[in-house]
Protein backbone atom coordinates (compact mmCIF):
# COMPACT_ATOMS: atom_id res chain seq x y z
CA UNK A 1 0.00 0.00 0.00
CA UNK A 2 1.34 3.41 -0.99
CA UNK A 3 2.14 5.75 1.87
CA UNK A 4 -0.02 8.81 2.19
CA UNK A 5 1.64 12.16 1.71
CA UNK A 6 1.84 14.48 4.70
CA UNK A 7 -0.96 16.61 3.26
CA UNK A 8 -3.14 13.53 2.75
CA UNK A 9 -2.48 12.44 6.32
CA UNK A 10 -3.48 15.87 7.63
CA UNK A 11 -6.67 15.82 5.57
CA UNK A 12 -7.54 12.34 6.80
CA UNK A 13 -6.98 13.30 10.44
CA UNK A 14 -9.12 16.40 9.97
CA UNK A 15 -11.88 14.41 8.29
CA UNK A 16 -11.80 11.89 11.13
CA UNK A 17 -12.13 14.74 13.64
CA UNK A 18 -15.07 16.17 11.70
CA UNK A 19 -16.92 12.85 11.64
CA UNK A 20 -16.24 12.30 15.35
CA UNK A 21 -17.66 15.74 16.10
CA UNK A 22 -20.73 15.10 13.97
CA UNK A 23 -21.28 11.75 15.68
CA UNK A 24 -21.13 13.41 19.09
CA UNK A 25 -23.43 16.31 18.13
CA UNK A 26 -25.96 14.02 16.47
CA UNK A 27 -26.03 11.88 19.61
CA UNK A 28 -26.44 14.94 21.83
CA UNK A 29 -28.72 17.22 19.78
CA UNK A 30 -30.02 15.29 16.80
CA UNK A 31 -29.88 16.20 13.11
CA UNK A 32 -32.38 19.05 13.14
CA UNK A 33 -30.61 21.04 15.87
CA UNK A 34 -27.05 20.37 14.73
CA UNK A 35 -25.58 23.08 12.48
CA UNK A 36 -22.59 23.10 10.14
CA UNK A 37 -21.25 26.17 11.98
CA UNK A 38 -21.38 24.21 15.22
CA UNK A 39 -19.42 21.32 13.72
CA UNK A 40 -16.76 23.66 12.33
CA UNK A 41 -16.41 25.44 15.67
CA UNK A 42 -16.19 22.15 17.55
CA UNK A 43 -13.40 20.90 15.28
CA UNK A 44 -11.66 24.28 15.28
CA UNK A 45 -11.68 24.93 11.54
CA UNK A 46 -13.32 27.47 9.26
CA UNK A 47 -16.69 26.60 7.80
CA UNK A 48 -15.20 26.91 4.30
CA UNK A 49 -12.56 24.31 5.21
CA UNK A 50 -15.24 21.93 6.42
CA UNK A 51 -17.06 22.20 3.10
CA UNK A 52 -13.91 21.00 1.34
CA UNK A 53 -14.52 17.65 3.04
CA UNK A 54 -18.32 17.46 3.14
CA UNK A 55 -20.62 19.39 0.84
CA UNK A 56 -23.63 19.60 3.15
CA UNK A 57 -25.10 18.90 6.55
CA UNK A 58 -26.68 15.79 5.05
CA UNK A 59 -23.28 14.57 3.85
CA UNK A 60 -21.94 15.01 7.38
CA UNK A 61 -24.74 12.91 8.80
CA UNK A 62 -24.21 10.22 6.16
CA UNK A 63 -20.51 10.03 7.07
CA UNK A 64 -21.43 9.59 10.74
CA UNK A 65 -23.81 6.75 9.85
CA UNK A 66 -21.13 5.03 7.78
CA UNK A 67 -18.80 5.26 10.79
CA UNK A 68 -21.51 3.80 13.04
CA UNK A 69 -22.19 0.89 10.69
CA UNK A 70 -18.47 0.16 10.47
CA UNK A 71 -18.31 0.01 14.27
CA UNK A 72 -21.43 -2.17 14.34
CA UNK A 73 -19.99 -4.62 11.84
CA UNK A 74 -16.75 -4.83 13.83
CA UNK A 75 -18.79 -5.63 16.94
CA UNK A 76 -20.84 -8.24 15.08
CA UNK A 77 -17.67 -9.95 13.86
CA UNK A 78 -16.26 -10.01 17.39
CA UNK A 79 -19.48 -11.51 18.75
CA UNK A 80 -19.63 -14.06 15.92
CA UNK A 81 -16.15 -15.25 16.91
CA UNK A 82 -17.22 -16.13 20.44
CA UNK A 83 -17.37 -19.92 20.91
CA UNK A 84 -20.43 -21.71 22.26
CA UNK A 85 -22.84 -18.78 21.81
CA UNK A 86 -26.38 -19.38 20.63
CA UNK A 87 -27.95 -17.17 17.99
CA UNK A 88 -30.13 -15.52 20.65
CA UNK A 89 -27.11 -14.80 22.84
CA UNK A 90 -25.41 -13.15 19.87
CA UNK A 91 -28.47 -10.98 19.20
CA UNK A 92 -28.58 -10.13 22.89
CA UNK A 93 -24.90 -9.14 22.86
CA UNK A 94 -25.08 -6.84 19.83
CA UNK A 95 -28.25 -5.18 21.12
CA UNK A 96 -26.64 -4.60 24.51
CA UNK A 97 -23.66 -3.04 22.74
CA UNK A 98 -26.00 -0.63 20.93
CA UNK A 99 -27.67 0.35 24.21
CA UNK A 100 -24.36 0.93 26.00
CA UNK A 101 -23.16 2.98 23.01
CA UNK A 102 -26.29 5.11 23.27
CA UNK A 103 -25.88 5.59 27.03
CA UNK A 104 -22.26 6.65 26.44
CA UNK A 105 -23.50 9.45 24.14
CA UNK A 106 -21.97 7.89 21.03
CA UNK A 107 -25.07 6.86 19.08
CA UNK A 108 -26.05 9.39 16.37
CA UNK A 109 -29.77 9.91 15.91
CA UNK A 110 -31.42 10.91 12.65
CA UNK A 111 -35.00 11.93 11.87
CA UNK A 112 -37.13 9.21 10.30
CA UNK A 113 -38.62 11.62 7.76
CA UNK A 114 -36.28 14.02 5.97
CA UNK A 115 -36.25 13.85 2.19
CA UNK A 116 -32.85 15.49 1.64
CA UNK A 117 -31.16 13.31 4.27
CA UNK A 118 -32.82 10.19 2.90
CA UNK A 119 -31.60 11.07 -0.61
CA UNK A 120 -28.04 11.52 0.70
CA UNK A 121 -28.09 8.16 2.44
CA UNK A 122 -29.53 6.36 -0.57
CA UNK A 123 -26.82 7.91 -2.75
CA UNK A 124 -24.06 6.61 -0.47
CA UNK A 125 -22.80 3.23 -1.67
CA UNK A 126 -20.72 2.80 1.48
CA UNK A 127 -23.78 3.34 3.67
CA UNK A 128 -26.01 0.99 1.66
CA UNK A 129 -23.37 -1.75 1.43
CA UNK A 130 -22.68 -1.64 5.17
CA UNK A 131 -26.38 -1.50 6.05
CA UNK A 132 -27.02 -4.55 3.87
CA UNK A 133 -24.13 -6.48 5.41
CA UNK A 134 -25.18 -5.68 8.98
CA UNK A 135 -28.80 -6.59 8.18
CA UNK A 136 -27.79 -9.89 6.59
CA UNK A 137 -25.55 -10.87 9.51
CA UNK A 138 -28.26 -10.10 12.06
CA UNK A 139 -30.87 -11.74 9.86
CA UNK A 140 -28.91 -15.01 9.92
CA UNK A 141 -28.90 -14.96 13.72
CA UNK A 142 -32.63 -14.18 13.82
CA UNK A 143 -33.54 -17.07 11.51
CA UNK A 144 -31.33 -19.42 13.53
CA UNK A 145 -32.84 -18.24 16.83
CA UNK A 146 -36.31 -18.94 15.41
CA UNK A 147 -35.19 -22.40 14.29
CA UNK A 148 -33.83 -22.97 17.83
CA UNK A 149 -37.21 -22.02 19.30
CA UNK A 150 -35.69 -19.03 21.13
CA UNK A 151 -37.71 -16.48 19.12
CA UNK A 152 -41.31 -17.01 18.03
CA UNK A 153 -41.17 -18.52 14.53
CA UNK A 154 -44.49 -16.85 13.69
CA UNK A 155 -42.79 -13.44 13.68
CA UNK A 156 -41.50 -12.28 10.29
CA UNK A 157 -37.69 -12.01 10.61
CA UNK A 158 -37.80 -8.36 9.49
CA UNK A 159 -40.04 -7.53 12.47
CA UNK A 160 -37.37 -8.89 14.81
CA UNK A 161 -34.61 -7.12 12.85
CA UNK A 162 -36.35 -3.74 13.05
CA UNK A 163 -36.98 -4.30 16.76
CA UNK A 164 -33.25 -4.82 17.29
CA UNK A 165 -32.40 -1.78 15.15
CA UNK A 166 -34.89 0.33 17.10
CA UNK A 167 -32.95 -0.14 20.32
CA UNK A 168 -30.23 2.12 18.91
CA UNK A 169 -32.66 5.06 19.07
CA UNK A 170 -34.84 3.89 21.94
CA UNK A 171 -35.67 6.92 24.17
CA UNK A 172 -36.19 4.77 27.28
CA UNK A 173 -32.48 4.40 28.26
CA UNK A 174 -31.90 8.17 28.12
CA UNK A 175 -35.02 8.88 30.20
CA UNK A 176 -34.00 6.35 32.85
CA UNK A 177 -30.42 7.63 32.95
CA UNK A 178 -31.57 11.24 33.27
CA UNK A 179 -33.45 10.30 36.43
CA UNK A 180 -30.14 9.36 38.08
CA UNK A 181 -31.62 6.45 40.02
CA UNK A 182 -30.32 3.51 38.02
CA UNK A 183 -26.96 2.27 36.76
CA UNK A 184 -26.25 1.73 33.08
CA UNK A 185 -26.16 -2.01 33.74
CA UNK A 186 -29.64 -1.97 35.28
CA UNK A 187 -31.03 0.12 32.45
CA UNK A 188 -29.58 -2.16 29.78
CA UNK A 189 -30.80 -5.31 31.55
CA UNK A 190 -34.33 -3.95 31.85
CA UNK A 191 -34.54 -2.69 28.28
CA UNK A 192 -33.16 -6.01 27.03
CA UNK A 193 -35.80 -7.86 29.03
CA UNK A 194 -38.63 -5.88 27.43
CA UNK A 195 -37.00 -6.31 24.01
CA UNK A 196 -36.36 -10.07 24.02
CA UNK A 197 -38.60 -11.42 26.78
CA UNK A 198 -41.47 -8.92 26.70
CA UNK A 199 -43.22 -7.32 29.67
CA UNK A 200 -44.47 -10.63 31.11
CA UNK A 201 -42.52 -13.13 33.16
CA UNK A 202 -39.69 -12.84 35.71
CA UNK A 203 -36.97 -10.25 35.15
CA UNK A 204 -33.47 -11.67 34.76
CA UNK A 205 -30.05 -10.27 33.87
CA UNK A 206 -28.10 -11.30 30.78
CA UNK A 207 -29.10 -13.53 27.89
Residue 164: which pLDDT band, with cuts at 50, 70 and 90?
very high
pLDDT single digits (tens) 174-196 = 999 999 999 999 999 999 999 88
Domain layout of the chain by residue ranges: 57-197
CATH no. for 57-197 = 1.10.357.10
The CA distance from 9 to 77, in Å, is 28
What is each CA distance from 38 to 20, 67, 82, in whole angstroms?
13, 20, 41
Residues 6+ apart with CB under 8 A from 79: 85, 90, 93, 94, 97
State residue 207's pLDDT score: 45
Residue predicted with more confidence, 110 or 131: 131
The CA distance from 108 to 35, in Å, is 14
Amino acid sequence: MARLSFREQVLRVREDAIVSSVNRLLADKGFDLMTVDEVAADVGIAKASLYKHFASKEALAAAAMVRLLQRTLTEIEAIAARPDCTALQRLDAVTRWALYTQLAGEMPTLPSHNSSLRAELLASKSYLDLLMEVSERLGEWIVQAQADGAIAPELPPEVVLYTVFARACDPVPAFLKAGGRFSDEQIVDWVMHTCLQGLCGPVRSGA
